[in-house]
Amino acid sequence: MPILRIEEKLVYFAHVPKCAGTSVERYLLNASVEMAFHDGQHYKREGRPPWSATSPQHVDKIALDHLFPQALFADGFSVVRHPAKRARSAFHYAQKVYGLKWTGFEAWLRSIGKMDISQHRTFDNHTLPMTAMVPDWIENIFRLEDGEAAIVTYLDTLLGRQSSEPALPRFQTYTPVTSRTLAGRLLSPIRRPKAPELDEGLCRLVFEVYREDYERFGYGWDDPLKGAAHG
């Protein structure tokens, strides 16, 4: 939940993990925007434990309401993504950063449906439903599948400028976790099973887990099967 100061106004960015949030933040930082309640190195901190269970930019909306009154912000926005695509990305991220091993994508999805808030925080809220992170008062919600141009146009309007390139900077891409040893390479597919392509069964399972996200943000459970939800 980065808080942005733009021309003496405070703007709230509801950063939903695995929805290009880091790219949005990099775009704003490149424009010299002052940003608070943001820690891109949260999971790498050593020594003294951090004060929050998750990185501050991944705060859920209930915690946000306890910490900051809505009237504090002059504006707010968020970027969301098709839940099935987001779930695959979160699965790969959990393998890379949180050492998720042995568990396959389908089994992991089923476990998400049983998680309480403390378990979601173990994964820095990457598994938390999007609607639990986007405050109800936010009206400027951009779907990543609809293209980056609208996001950049909105950001440039906030910044009072025009951009020559309607695209966000590329920051994070998934790279499979590999081993340097022969034994490690042979065991890697077993220990770190890659998420399979989305089929009807998986799409329906994601819909069961994240039903509220589909309803609030206007996604269809079978969008990936039709090629309507990319990214």
Residue 231 lies in a domain: no
The CATH number of whichever domain residue 162 belongs to comes to 3.40.50
179 assigned to some structural domain: yes
**What does the chain look like in DSSP terms, one character per residue?**
--EEEETTEEEEEE--TTSSHHHHHHHHHHTT-EEES--TTGGG--SSPPSSSS-GGG--HHHHHHHS-GGG-SEEEEEE--HHHHHHHHHHHHHHHS---S--HHHHHHHHTT--HHHHHHTTTTTS-GGGTS-TT--EEEEGGG-SHHHHHHHHHHHT---SS--PPP---------SSHHHHHHHHHHSPPPPPP-HHHHHHHHHHSHHHHHHHT--TTHHHHT-S--
In a domain, residue 206? The reply is yes
Print the domain residue range for 194: 3-226
How does pLDDT run across 128-160, given as a tens digit for each residue?
Answer: 999 998 999 999 999 999 999 999 999 999 998
pTM, full prediction: 0.81
In a domain, 176, yes or no: yes
Q: pLDDT tens-digit profile of 160-199?
A: 887 766 778 776 544 444 444 554 444 444 455 677 788 9
- Asked whether residue 124 is assigned to any structural domain, the reply reads yes
